[in-house]
C-alpha cells in the first residue's frame, strides 16, 4: 500500500490530503483496502454511493449498456437518456432536464439559465445572484463565484461579478440584498460542506415568497442533500416548496459521473439551441445509470429506509451529545447528519479510520455522517461503538 501511495504522490497534483489507504473493492456497506482490511463506510464517496457497493442489479444494467452503446453525442437522441429525463422530471416535480457530467457543471448551467431568463425578461444583461454565506456550490469559476466561503474564492479572483451573499436562515439579510437586477437566489436546503445546517421552515418559505413577489428565480442546490438523503427525493419536498431550478448530481448516478439541472417549463424556455451544451453529458451509459438508480429507489423503498434508519441515527447521535460535554451541537436531516465538537475533529476521524470506520468532516469542527442509504440499524450500532471508543480516548 505504501508503494501505491508513494507513486500517487509523484504523479497526481496535490489538491487533496488523502487518507493513507488504497481502496480496492466494496460490498454493501463496506469497503476493503488492497491489504484486505474492512471498513464500515459512513461517507458513501461523499454522498454518492447511495445504493452501497457492488449491487448486482445496478452493475448488470451498466455492463449491458457497455456492450450496446456508450456514447453518441447530443446530435442524436438516445432511449436511455429520454427515459432517465422522464423519471428525473417526475421525481423532482419539474419539467425539463439538462444532463451534465458533475454537480459543478450543473451549477454552472443553472447560473447561465437564470441569467438568460433575466435577459429575455428584462431585455438586458446584468442579472445578479444572491447566494448564502457558508454555502458550497463547486470549484469551477462560476460555481466558485457563488460559494459563500471566502477561503475557497480569494486565490482565484476576479471571479464572475454580480454576486451577493446573504446570511443563511436570515430572511432580512436576503431582503436587504435584493435590487432591480436580482435574477436569482440560490441556496442548499441543507448546507453540506458548510457544516450540516438545514434551512428553517420560515426561511425557505419566506425566500420563496420574496422570489414570487419580486419575480426572482429560486434555485435549490440539491447536489449533496438531494436524491433521498434527507428522507424525500429532494430536500425541498420536505419543506413543501417548489423552486424554479434545481441542481443535482452525486447519488443521481451512484458512482457514474452524472449531474443535472432541472427547471420548470417557463424557465427552461429561456434557453435556445447554442446557449448551452456538453459533449459527454447525458450519453446512453449515464442515462442507464440514472434510470436504474431511480428504479431501485422505488423497488427497494429507499426513502422509507432513510426515514426509519435516519431517525435511529439521529437518536443515537443525540445520545452521544448528551454523554460528551465537548459535543456542542447535533444537526441534520435523514441520513445527512453532523456532530459539532469544541475542537478540531481530524484526530477522531483518523482514529476511527484505524479502527475500520470511514468518516469525513464538514469544516474543521464537524463530523459528517453520509452513509449509503441502504444503512440499517446494526450498521448504526457498530458505528456508534467505534466512535464512542474514539470519543472516550479524548
Tell me the per-residue pLDDT of 164-210, one tens digit each, with 9 for 90 and over: 999 999 999 999 999 999 999 999 999 999 999 999 999 999 999 99
Three-state secondary structure of 273-324: CCCCCCCCCCCHHHHHHHHHHHHHHHHCCHHHHHHHHHHHHHHHHHHHHHHC
291-326 pLDDT tens trace: 999 999 999 999 999 999 999 999 999 999 999 999
CATH-assigned architecture of domain 58-299: 3-Layer(aba) Sandwich (3.40)
The three-class DSSP label of residue 171 is helix
Q: Is residue 4 very low, low, confident or very high in pLDDT (cuts 50, 70, 90)? A: very high
pLDDT, one tens digit per residue, over 210-248 is 999 999 999 999 999 999 999 999 999 999 999 999 999
Going along the chain, which residue ranges are E strands? Answer: 23-27, 30-33, 38-41, 96-100, 128-132, 163-166, 182-187, 190-191, 197-198, 217-221, 245-248, 259-263, 327-333, 336-341, 357-358, 360-361, 366-369
User: Can you tell me the distance from the alpha carbon of 290 to that of 303, in angstroms, rounded to the nearest whole number?
Assistant: 16
Flag whether the pTM goes above 0.75. Answer: yes
CATH class for the region spanning 303-362: alpha beta
Which pLDDT does position 87 carry in this prediction? 98
Per-residue confidence band for 352, with pLDDT thresholds at 50, 70 and 90 = very high
Q: Range(s) for CATH 3.40.640.10 in the chain?
A: 58-299
Span 257-269, average pLDDT: 98
Q: Please report, in angstroms and rounded to a whole number, the separation of the first and last CA atoms in the chain.
A: 29
Q: What is the mean pLDDT of the chain?
A: 97
Nearest-angstrom CA–CA distance, 241 and 208? 7
Residue 275 contacts by C-beta under 8 Å, 6 or more apart in sequence? Answer: 112, 116
Return the pLDDT at 168. Answer: 98
Per-residue model confidence (pLDDT) at position 26: 97
Looking at residue 166, what is its pLDDT? 98
Grid coordinates standing for 391?
470519543
CB 147 within 8 A of CB 136: yes
Q: What is the pLDDT of residues 54-87, one digit of tens each?
A: 999 999 999 999 999 999 999 999 999 999 999 9
Does position 394 have pLDDT exceeding 90, yes or no? no
Q: Please give the pLDDT value at position 111.
A: 98
Portions of the chain given CATH number 3.90.1150.10: 303-362
Please confirm whether the linkage preceding 312 is cis (ω < 30° from 0). Answer: no
d(CA 52, CA 373): 7
How many Å is the Cα radius of gyration of the chain?
21
Helix-then-strand count for the chain, H and E: 14, 17
* Main-chain phi, psi angles of 220, to 5 degrees: -105, 125
Q: Is the pLDDT of residue 253 over 90?
A: yes
> Quick one: average pLDDT of 255-260?
97
Amino acid at each position: 500500500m505504501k508503494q501505491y501511495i508513494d507513486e500517487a504522490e509523484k504523479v497526481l497534483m496535490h489538491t487533496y490530503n488523502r487518507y493513507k489507504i488504497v481502496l480496492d473493492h466494496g460490498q454493501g456497506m463496506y469497503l476493503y483496502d488492497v491489504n484486505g482490511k474492512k471498513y464500515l463506510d459512513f461517507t458513501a464517496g461523499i454522498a454518492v454511493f447511495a445504493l452501497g457497493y457492488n449491487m448486482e442489479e445496478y452493475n448488470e444494467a451498466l455492463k449491458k449498456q457497455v456492450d450496446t452503446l456508450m456514447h453518441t453525442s447530443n446530435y442524436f437522441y438516445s432511449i436511455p437518456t429520454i427515459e432517465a429525463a422522464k423519471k428525473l422530471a417526475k421525481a423532482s416535480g419539474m419539467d425539463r432536464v439538462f444532463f451534465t457530467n458533475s454537480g459543478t457543471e450543473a451549477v454552472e448551467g443553472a447560473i447561465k439559465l437564470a441569467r438568460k431568463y433575466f435577459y429575455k425578461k428584462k431585455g438586458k444583461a446584468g442579472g445578479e445572484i444572491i447566494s448564502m454565506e457558508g454555502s458550497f456550490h463547486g470549484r469551477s469559476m462560476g460555481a466558485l463565484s457563488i460559494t459563500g466561503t471566502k477561503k475557497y474564492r480569494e486565490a482565484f479572483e476576479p471571479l464572475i461579478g454580480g454576486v451577493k451573499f446573504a446570511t443563511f436562515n436570515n430572511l432580512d439579510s436576503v431582503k436587504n440584498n435584493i435590487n432591480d437586477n436580482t435574477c436569482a437566489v440560490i441556496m442548499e436546503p441543507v448546507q453540506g460542506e458548510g457544516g450540516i445546517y438545514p434551512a428553517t421552515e420560515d426561511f425557505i418559505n419566506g425566500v420563496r415568497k420574496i422570489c414570487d413577489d419580486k419575480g426572482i428565480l429560486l434555485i435549490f442546490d440539491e447536489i449533496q442533500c438531494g436524491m433521498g438523503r434527507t428522507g424525500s427525493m429532494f430536500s425541498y419536498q420536505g419543506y413543501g416548496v417548489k423552486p424554479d431550478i434545481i441542481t443535482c448530481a452525486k447519488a443521481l448516478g451512484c458512482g457514474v459521473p452524472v449531474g443535472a439541472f432541472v427547471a420548470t417549463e417557463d424557465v427552461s424556455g429561456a434557453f435556445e439551441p447554442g446557449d448551452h451544451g456538453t459533449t459527454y453529458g447525458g450519453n446512453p451509459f449515464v442515462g442507464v445509470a440514472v434510470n436504474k438508480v431511480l428504479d431501485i429507489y422505488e423497488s427497494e423503498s429507499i426513502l422509507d429506509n432513510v426515514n426509519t434508519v435516519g431517525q435511529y441515527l439521529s437518536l443515537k447521535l443525540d445520545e452521544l451529545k448528551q454523554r460528551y460535554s465537548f459535543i456542542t451541537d447535533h444537526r441534520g436531516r435523514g441520513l445527512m447528519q453532523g456532530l459539532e465538537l469544541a475542537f478540531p475533529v481530524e484526530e477522531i476521524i483518523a482514529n476511527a479510520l484505524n479502527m475500520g470506520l470511514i468518516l469525513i468532516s464538514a469544516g474543521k469542527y464537524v463530523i459528517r455522517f453520509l452513509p449509503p442509504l441502504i444503512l440499517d440499524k446494526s450498521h448504526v450500532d457498530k458505528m456508534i461503538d467505534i466512535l464512542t471508543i474514539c470519543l472516550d480516548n479524548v
